[in-house]
């Protein structure tokens, strides 16, 4: 399966940004861990991170013929990007929304996701394992 993994704003700072919330691994380490996991080893991945909403939308559009599934951590865009929501909906590729932290037990504004209604599922609060569980759900959905 071809899997597009998208990471939103500030996730380029993983490993140094609030490690007590987001964990000690860098984004590169986390993506390598996912790709080389038992579940990821037989699949092709493309990884993308941007702090810019339009670049995320362009990537979703540009990879729509390659990707069979999307794992997306929209980060702060989770709470207000109807444009990313529309892009996911428009390409009709199964997507799983993932978050390192438990967004349901954080600040009130973080508890709302405008992205999740167009995704197959949402996984949060499991640290880096959120990505692995998201991958498992995506592969199960494809089966």
Could you say which of 3.40.50.9100, 3.30.70.3040, 3.30.70.270, 3.40.50.360 is the CATH number of the domain covering 2-142?
3.40.50.9100
By annotation, the residues acting in catalysis are 22, 99
pTM of the complete model: 0.94
What ranges make up the beta strands (E) of 20-114? 44-49, 69-73, 95-99
pLDDT tens per residue, range 35-94: 999 999 999 999 999 999 999 999 999 999 999 999 999 999 999 999 999 999 999 999
pLDDT tens per residue, range 89-115: 999 999 999 999 898 887 787 778 999
pLDDT tens per residue, range 115-126: 999 999 999 999
Cα(45)–Cα(70) distance, integer angstroms: 10
Contact status, residue 59 vs residue 67, Cβ threshold 8 Å: no
Residue 24 scores a pLDDT above 80 = yes
Q: Where are the domains of the chain?
A: 2-142
């Amino acid at each position: 399966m071809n899997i597009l993994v998208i990471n939103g704003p500030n996730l380029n700072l993983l490993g140094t940004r609030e490690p007590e919330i987001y964990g000690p691994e860098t984004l590169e380490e986390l993506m390598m861990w996912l790709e080389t996991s038992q579940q990821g080893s037989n699949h092709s991945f493309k990884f993308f991170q941007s702090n810019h909403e339009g670049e995320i939308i362009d990537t979703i559009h540009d990879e729509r013929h390659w990707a069979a599934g999307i794992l997306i951590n929209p980060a702060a865009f989770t709470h207000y990007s109807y444009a990313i929501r529309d892009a996911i909906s428009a390409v009709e590729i199964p997507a799983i929304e993932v978050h390192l932290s438990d967004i349901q037990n954080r600040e009130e504004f973080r508890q709302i996701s405008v992205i999740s209604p167009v995704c197959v599922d949402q996984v949060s609060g499991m640290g880096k394992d959120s990505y692995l569980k998201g991958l498992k759900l995506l592969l199960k959905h494809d089966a």
